[in-house]
Structure 1
């Protein structure tokens, strides 16, 4: 019957979702937080360095209030 495919479908879904779900745990252990910024483009690397310079933490969300008025 049609329900005989459910166990194999469940195994495939879990096997495909495992790397995505485990990335949060691995980033927490290796990097120290659960998210990782993409630095594939030059502009993204510049934004990473800017946030690190302004707040000391590149993963902290910051806006115009983080830029000092001088």
Structure 2
């Protein structure tokens, strides 16, 4: 899913190493990170996702690894 490759890593990078006192602080900071994402960020996410599933379809069941 796109969230696994796009949103979660972006959140993790921004929040890593920080200490929060409350769940509300985590939610507020997470919301700020998400609010900074642009339309271009999301377009890139879905274009990369489409390339991944295109590779799966074109592999016709053959195993592959990496970006080859």
Query: When the two structures are superposed, what TM-score results if normalisation uses the length of structure 2?
Result: 0.30
Larger-Rg structure: 1
Q: TM-score, length-normalised on structure 1?
A: 0.30
